[in-house]
Amino acid sequence: QGSARNIAIFGAGYIGLVTAACFARLGHRVTVRDIQPERVRLLQAGDVPIYEPGLGELLADNKESLTYTLDASEAVRDAHVAYICVDTPPTASGDADLSRVWSVIDSLRGATHLAAVVVKSTVPVGTGARIRAALDSAGLQHVGYASNPEFTAEGRAVTDFLQPDRIVVGTDDPDTAELVAGLHAGIHGPVQTMDVASAEMVKLASNALLATKITFINEIATVCEATGADVTRVADAVGLDHRLGRHFLNAGLGYGGSCFPKDSRALRAMASNSGYSFQLLNAVIEVNDLQPRRAVQRLKSELGTLRDKRIALLGMTFKPGTDDMREAPSTVMASRLLAEGADLTCWDPMARPADTAPWNQAERRPTVLEALTGADAAVIVTEWHDLLDTDWAAARSLMRTPVLFDGRNVLDPDTLGRFGYTCMSVGRATVRP
């Protein structure tokens, strides 16, 4: 255990690069292979193509141990372990598209030193068994197989990797279990060894339960609105029960991002394929889809109509601290507001400029105050820290009508009411001036 290994990482995306940087930091020699020439060129030049705190430093500090290549056979030539970190986007049927995983498996034939193939990509349960069979028929019976799912959240991926709650290793072979656990020597975190299918399920079940927790509090929030209760007070007190915990009990405009929406639909599709309707997950997905639409509807009731109203969307990314716009609730909000005839201004400190609908129809402004200027209402969609630092008392006079929809419950409605705003939020009473 604990000896330095040669690791080939397939996929220089967000997970692949974090895994590569952390394994290099733990003393392993890492070759990262990606199919996008531009991405490989950037990495070779010392640039980091994605934003993730600490990642750039970690890659730079360990650059002696890191190689980047387009060539799969170069990546596996000396590798003891091949780590598959490619993306598995949904197909039209909602199943995961595994074509990138299969093309990596196909490229492993020439690997003479290979002792194990490890999948980190999120895959349907049963994929490992199929990969095992494919390895066997490719003459790689001696190569072990393991599932080693990741549980990293964007914005804290490096910390999550180096200080994990648990390391899950799914394999049917004790030597492979020891090898994969050994790669993580130096990390303090319990290693949970289990069969391949269970490891694959841990990932999907964890994300589905977190998505369920968020959706549960969003439904409680809706009932709070109807009954006069305050969802933040409820969540704080509910969360003090150590069996429940306060994490992921923030009501808001719903979850987005690259994992929860995709993984919950993938788990639902997997259940459906076996003839089972996963009813709880169906409801979670449906309620989450409704969440931004409901917010638009509430804003419409407040303003009478949205036609020709100028709405400022504050925050565009799916959460703060990232430039990631994947499945961001802001996109649904923007699209719905435009459909209702509203004019949009928007602000975000990190989102990359988008030239596609609906964002090409919104006027992006460089500061919060400029986005608010002339607005009939503003919506906090992503709880960026800048919004807490905004001088809301001064901002009021910039708006045509001072209506603020705090979609993440980060501001104090009573204070805003005193400043002269109508403050709407999720699961709390609307405060009027």
Least separation in angstroms between residue 364's CB and ligand UDX is 21
Nearer to ligand UDX, 68 or 255 (CB): 255
Residues 241-280 that bind ligand UDX (CB under 6 A): 248-250, 252, 255-260
Residue of the chain from 79, 101, 158, 214 that contacts ligand UDX (CB under 6 A): 214
Residue of the chain from 151, 216, 347, 405 that contacts ligand UDX (CB under 6 A): 151
Q: How many other CB atoms sit within 10 Å of the CB of residue 238?
A: 16
Nearer to ligand UDX, 129 or 153 (CB): 153
Whole-number Å distance between alpha carbons of 389 and 403:
18
- Which residues fall within 8 angstroms of residue 95, CB to CB, at 6 or more apart? 124, 266, 269, 270, 273
Nearer to ligand UDX, 51 or 248 (CB): 248
Nearer to ligand UDX, 144 or 252 (CB): 252
- Which residues fall within 8 angstroms of residue 277, CB to CB, at 6 or more apart? 271
CA distances from 159 to 61, 87, 233, 383 (A): 16, 21, 30, 21
Annotate each residue in 101-140 with x if it binds ligand UDX (CB under 6 A) or - if it does not, as one string: ----------------------------------------
Least separation in angstroms between residue 3's CB and ligand UDX is 28
Least separation in angstroms between residue 399's CB and ligand UDX is 25
Among candidate residues 227, 230, 282, 228, the one with its CA nearest the CA of residue 251:
230
Nearer to ligand UDX, 68 or 318 (CB): 318
Least separation in angstroms between residue 18's CB and ligand UDX is 11
Least separation in angstroms between residue 252's CB and ligand UDX is 4
Nearer to ligand UDX, 218 or 422 (CB): 218
Residue of the chain from 207, 232, 390, 409 that contacts ligand UDX (CB under 6 A): 207
Stretch that binds ligand UDX, among 26-34, 82-90, 147-155, 166-174 (CB under 6 A): 147-155
In angstroms, how far is CA 319 from the centroid of its own chain?
A: 9
Residue of the chain from 318, 392, 405, 421 that contacts ligand UDX (CB under 6 A): 318
Q: How many other CB atoms sit within 10 Å of the CB of residue 367?
A: 12
Among candidate residues 170, 171, 150, 169, the one with its CA nearest the CA of residue 161:
150
Buried b or exposed e, range 22-57, using 16+ CB within 10 angstroms? bbbbbebbbbbbbeeeebbebbeeeebbbbbebbbe
In this structure, are strands 403-406 and 422-425 parallel, antiparallel, or unpaired?
parallel
By beta-carbon distance, which residue lies closest to ligand UDX?
Answer: 259
Least separation in angstroms between residue 62's CB and ligand UDX is 23
Nearer to ligand UDX, 104 or 287 (CB): 287
Q: By CB under 6 A, is residue 234 in contact with ligand UDX?
A: no
CA distances from 83 to 12, 164, 274 (A): 11, 18, 29
Tell me whether residue 259 is one of the annotated catalytic residues: yes
Least separation in angstroms between residue 269's CB and ligand UDX is 18
What's the one-letter identity of residue 345?
T
Q: How many other CB atoms sit within 10 Å of the CB of residue 6?
A: 17
Q: By CB under 6 A, is residue 153 in contact with ligand UDX?
A: yes
Least separation in angstroms between residue 307's CB and ligand UDX is 29
Alpha helices in 310-412 (DSSP H): 329-339, 368-372, 385-389, 392-395
CA distances from 392 to 4, 109, 190, 363, 382 (A): 54, 62, 46, 21, 17
Q: In the block, which residue shows the tokens 């656990």? A: 181
Q: By CB under 6 A, is residue 406 in contact with ligand UDX?
A: no
Selected catalytic residue, list 85, 224, 259, 346: 259
Among candidate residues 22, 40, 220, 201, the one with its CA nearest the CA of residue 129:
201
Residue of the chain from 34, 52, 154, 225 that contacts ligand UDX (CB under 6 A): 154
Nearer to ligand UDX, 121 or 258 (CB): 258
Whole-number Å distance between alpha carbons of 170 and 122:
13
Residues that bind ligand UDX (CB under 6 A): 150-154, 207, 210, 214, 248-250, 252, 255-260, 318-319
Q: Hey, which residues are catalytic here? A: 259
